[in-house]
Chain A
């Protein structure tokens, strides 16, 4: 029997959603920005408590003046990966808006927040006061880099554990 779970990648445009999926699924990274239009779905198997879970990753077009998040894409999601670009303060504001949209749309989901592009120390613009302003459990906040791979595997693993409590997987 195989367990599969839907996970949505959301966040402002160009924060690194697609790059994180590429890093997680194909272990690759590209500097070139190739904007996503619409939705692209990828899958990856994750091992958990000696069982495997299939993650179905919905990479959803970033939010900006042209595009709102189409709420119906969130239906049935067990996990949300909310991505913020640590070098762009404005993407934190978008993230806050998205959190309330998600809360109003689905229930029964778990969320992790990724402050991405952590490799760009020079341009880092996210003091602790800001990262704390999100009402999110500290364990579920990760400083990641799709470029170096920092914390990417960990963040996905953590989310998988959150959405698949041991008793579910064992059955």
Chain B
């Protein structure tokens, strides 16, 4: 990249990028810092606040205004002096705009080509999260430090107290009472290690049983051996009659690992001979454990307190290595909340955090302690379960998770349900490497979403293929329009009553360069999800209008009906678009028909009816597609401003032998006619079907019995054969 001040559009682009990233950028030229573009407002405000005099030239006296930058420039110069240097970051520093508003900034020095650059980036928005993590970690560390030093203090006091007691009459008689209820473990032994006194706290640490208790003479030896690994000097210290204190790992009688803090004090008799040792010990496993936790804190999500993505990867990699060594398996569950984006938008960030917390807690509740739960970020969670591989047990676990999360979550004044989709992959079946395992669990999760959400799926070749194909389709759709991969086919509808009106339904086809022809069933829902349907809809409208116009030119007056997605009503200005297309192609509005499905009325009935009426006002007609499959009853049709109704093909295929189907079709036609709505039957494949419908007075029929969907050329030759040009 080069920065070329001569090129205006590039300059604007760069200025835009810098502003979006909230960066003030300067070039260092002959000892001066010249802004590359207008710095963000906060920067100028800050600068003016810190500089004593108004600056006139284009130069910014950053060193004068900001001691922090002044200092950083020294290091920056090292970067600027040679090429091929990595950028240098200053680390964060804070500046106050006023009493309330603190900015968290970082300076970055870099060399690009022969340009020496200094960037001041505003990190304020990312800062709070980091601060929260560090705050938690330091609070915890502080607590541990206090605990540790109070233990240390107590051990010293206790030891002094015991020594004083001994000095009174040169014996430890009667000391029992003093130490029995002491929470710190005490062991007093002779210099050869034989036990004189001990208390219950010692038994507790070492989980000693009744029998072993009195004969337990070797603790001193055991301790010094255990401590020796970290404190090689311990023998020398003890032999020379000095105090020793330290922390080390020890094993109790059940071979459980613990951390103890131990203090050993020699006691001398009247002749100054080393006679006894007073040993004082505390189990500090908890402190050590939480010190480890503190280290992990930077790997913990500050909101849910679950391990984050980074520690998830560490853990998974570690566990897969272990499983490989031991030949065991493990399961990975990948969770994603359903429609979280919507929930997040509706609730706002605080409530969304609350929700994620609730989900985290429920996950913890319904899993075992040894199962690993991570919050990967956003609404994604992962669970690693060791030593369970049979799908049945895993299904049970996944089911439990699903049900638990789906329970009501109370927000005080309202409750909410969130569902999850879960993908499961098992090592080694579904992947030997962490990233493959994660990928396959993710595919399976995606598959669960596909299947309607709020469920789980195991990784399978099918889910993998299926999802891969879907992702291909999704990506392919993005370029399909510009690559001209769509085509409209035209299927004529035959009038059973009136003669002469050509009606055609336009059907879209997609010729994918790798997957061949893809039918609408396979891509429309994906296009709707991604919003591309709006552009596709626009293309269909224009292509159909073009076709009408070209047919008109050839002397055939046909009415083409096009399918319109509910999304087009919701997210585009469909009315303006239809109007513009009609005008542009000079098409008579009565030659265009829009087909909508019942689902369009699910959203906001009144709003949609209004839109439909405006469309009718343009002169186009409206058809209701797939009638009978959805939600609406015939009664409800009365409210809708439609001209024509299409009976769904599923009813037609059963005619005339299915009594139930016949009744429905009969009443649809009768009722529609009463409402002056015409009826089209689609999917006609047999003569019997045709005769049956003709007898019921159906207005139009469409299907392979007459014509398959035709290309534009085929359509024209058809018309030519039917009705030679006048």
Contacts and interface: CB of A to CB of B under 8 A. Distances in A.
Given A41-B68, A65-B295, A125 B153 contact: yes
Contacts of B230: none
Interface in A92-138: 125
Contacts, number: 68
A40 interface: yes
A41 B67 contact: yes
A88 B149 contact: yes
A91 to B, nearest CB: 8
B3 interface: no
B534 interface: no
Contacts of A62: 138
A37 B153 CA distance: 32
Contact of A72 (B67, B71, B142): B71
A35 interface: yes
Given A65-B294, A66-B298, A89-B149, A40 B94 contact: yes
B80 to A, nearest CB: 16
Given A73-B71, A88-B149, A38 B92 contact: yes
Contacts of B95: 41
Nearest to B135: A35
A38 B104 contact: yes
Interface in B108-152: 127, 130-131, 134-135, 137-139, 141-142, 145-146, 149
Contacts of A76: 71
Contacts of A88: 145-146, 149
A166 B94 CA distance: 34
Quick one: which of B127, B135, B138 has the most chain A CB within 10 A? B138
Interface in B63-82: 67-68, 71-72, 74-75
Interface in B136-175: 137-139, 141-142, 145-146, 149, 153
A73 B72 CA distance: 8
Interface residues of B, number: 30
A90 B95 CA distance: 31
A3 interface: no
Contacts of A6: 67
B131 A37 contact: yes
B348 interface: no
Contacts of B294: 65
A39 B68 contact: yes
A34 B67 contact: no
B704 interface: no
A35 B138 contact: yes
A62 to B, nearest CB: 8
B130 A37 contact: yes
Contacts of A37: 92, 94, 104, 127, 130-131, 134
A73 B70 CA distance: 11
A76 B67 CA distance: 11
A53 interface: no
Contacts of B298: 66
Contacts of B141: 13, 64-65
B263 to A, nearest CB: 15
A75 B94 contact: no
Interface string B623-643: 000000000000000000000
Given A33-B138, A41-B95, A70-B91, 20 more contacts: A33-B139, A33-B142, A35-B131, A35-B134, A37-B104, A37-B131, A37-B134, A38-B93, A38-B94, A38-B104, A38-B106, A39-B91, A40-B94, A56-B67, A72-B72, A73-B71, A73-B91, A75-B71, A88-B149, A125-B153
Interface of A: 6, 13-14, 33-35, 37-41, 56, 58, 62, 64-66, 70, 72-73, 75-76, 88-90, 125
19 contacts: A6-B67, A14-B142, A33-B138, A34-B135, A35-B138, A37-B94, A37-B104, A37-B127, A37-B134, A38-B91, A38-B94, A40-B93, A41-B67, A56-B67, A72-B71, A73-B71, A73-B91, A75-B71, A90-B149
